[in-house]
Amino acid sequence: MKNYSLKWRLVSTISCAFILLWVIVFAWLYHDLEQRLQNTLDERLSTSARMVARLIQQLPLEQLTESLHAESENALLHSLIACEVSIFRTNVSLPQHVIARTQGAPKNLKNQQVGFSTWTENGLQWRSYVLREGEVQVVVAEKIQLRQNLLKQILQSVLIPLLLTLIICILLILWIIRLEFLPLDHITRHLIQKKQSLDEASRYLIELRSQKIPKEIQPFVDNLLMLIERLHKSLEHEKNFSAFAAHELRTPLTAIKTHVQLSQLMLNQTASAQDTAKVIDNLKHAERSIQRYQQLLEQLLLLSQTEAGIQAAHSHADMRSVLETVLSELTVEYPNLSAKLQIDWASLVAQHINIPAPALHMVLKNLIQNAYLHAEDAPNIQIYMQDLQLIIADQGKSLNEDDFTILTQRFWRKSAHKQGYGLGLTLVKVLLEQYGYLLQFQANQPQGLKVIVSFDAAPSATEKQQTD
């Protein structure tokens, strides 16, 4: 599932809600303002018509034409409203006679119906009002375009402050949310700065709990601290068990080994040849068993120290010289090992790895020993370097997909009849992770296992994969 930012999601959600609310308010404002403006301007038309009608009724009919022509020079010429005054006479054949009209007025004003109406002339829309009182008809009209321009100006005067208010509100929302999320931002920055140990994480959470933090994340901090403390205790118990077991068992095994060696020496000096051969053979088996248990304890102790963070300072080790030392030790224990190894020594020249020599020694020893013991009757084991990657490939039995996921699990072995204790690859994995290197497993072709140690990668976890 893709991660998302709670802060930015909150900002975007509230901003969208504000924008939607502003749009609804503006739409309602536009509709209401348009209706009110139309009603107001219609009322102005009717009022203008009544005012003109009252003025006309105050004059004698004979002087009406001359008076209106004189007034048109002053008021009607500069009015935004077109006006036309007509006289009706019932005793003449002409039904209507126009006595006054403003300049630019439409020609068919006198033909409009009584009351309000909207019509078009020469591509222009007009809104008119016709009033008839006695023998006088007054028609006033106004361009629809003038009304639209007025509505546009009013909306602009309203919309600009509305938009500015919306922008200010969004900025305030952003500022307030950033201010309220500062505790979470501090926690995030502290946690991503570096990989912290359990002790460092515990100290930080204890300090954080004493500070002022939101109540919503207080249970999260408390439960996380409790979980880390329980995990820390569990790991301490495990490391203490490994350390104590290795320490307590090392001394008895050393004493047993000493007694066995003394017995061999004494039998060589005093016993008969036949009995001496049998006893010596039994003692050799016992000594090999003791060596195996001693190796197990050494691995447990090193694993405990490595997991506890006890490691040597970073230094460089020469791959070739360390490998030669490892092979000299393993050849004593496995005489047939040198016949199976195919080492590309040219690829190992001038390969200096940023890891202490003892750690590299343990890595190489466990990997080569694992390849030799588990490759069964494979003809050869290849060892070479390629692009800062150490590759150890055998031609033993191939592993299935499930085996690749548990290769580095403690005490796991493919078969109970195999030698070893299932700690070698676990120890190699932990050692490499301590120095930021990568351990990979691939299926070798046509069969077998290929182990790749990448000295150019620094992941947080070991990667395992199988390629066909």
- Which residue, 18, 370, 393, 21, is CA-closest to 168? 18
Where is average pLDDT lowest: 64-73, 381-390, 427-436?
Answer: 64-73
Question: Which residue pairs, CB below 8 angstroms and at least 24 apart, start in 333-339?
Answer: 334/369, 334/372, 337/368, 337/372
pLDDT band at 323 (very low <50, low <70, confident <90, very high): very high
In Å, how far are 244, 321, 328, 360, 461 from 324, measured between CA atoms?
A: 33, 5, 6, 12, 29
Q: What is the average pLDDT value for the chain, to the nearest integer?
A: 76
Q: Residue 136: in which H helix or E strand, if any?
A: strand 136-143
Detail the DSSP E strand segments found in 320-411.
Answer: 341-343, 352-354, 381-385, 389-394
Contact 126, 109 (CB under 8 A): no
pLDDT at 102: 79
- Count of H helices and E strands in the chain? 12, 12
Measured in whole angstroms, the distance separating CA 204 from the mean position of its chain's CA atoms is 24
> In the block, which residue shows the tokens 């930015």?
8
Cα gap 327→369, rounded to integer Å? 10
Q: d(Cα 297, Cα 427) in Å, to the nearest integer?
A: 12
Q: Using CB atoms within 10 A of its CB, is residue 66 exposed (0-12), middle (13-18) or buried (19+)?
A: exposed
C-alpha separations of 69 from 62, 84, 107, 118, 421 in Å: 13, 12, 18, 28, 123
Among 292, 30, 274, 40, which residue's Cα sits nearest to residue 162? 30
Number of neighbouring beta carbons within 10 Å of residue 438: 19
**Looking at residue 211, what is its pLDDT?**
67
What domains are there in the chain, each with its CATH number?
Answer: 6-174 (3.30.450), 219-306 (1.10.287.130), 313-454 (3.30.565.10)
Q: Looking at per-residue confidence, does 395 or 368 come out higher?
A: 368
Which residues are paired to 454 by β-bridges? 389, 438
Element (H, E) at 314: none
Amino acid identity of residue 170, one-letter, is I
Residue the block writes with tokens 């078009």: 120
C-alpha atoms less than 13 angstroms from C-alpha of 31 in its C-beta half-sphere: 5
Residue 31 has pLDDT above 80, yes or no: yes
Q: Is residue 102 within 8 Å of residue 75, measured between CB atoms?
A: no
- Mean of pLDDT values over 353-364: 85
Take residue 356 and report the two structure tokens written for it.
């202490």
Q: List, for residues 34-59, the tens digit of each pLDDT value.
A: 899 999 988 988 998 888 888 877 76
> Residue 163: is its pLDDT beyond 80?
yes
Decide if pLDDT at 132 tops 80.
yes
pLDDT one-digit tens code per residue, 446-458: 788 888 998 875 4
- Mean pLDDT of the 263-285 span: 68
Give the rounded percent of residues in the chain with a pLDDT score beyond 70.
68
Distance CA 455, CA 351 (A): 10
Condensed to tens digits (0 to 9), the pLDDT of residues 424-448 reads 777 788 788 878 888 888 888 878 8
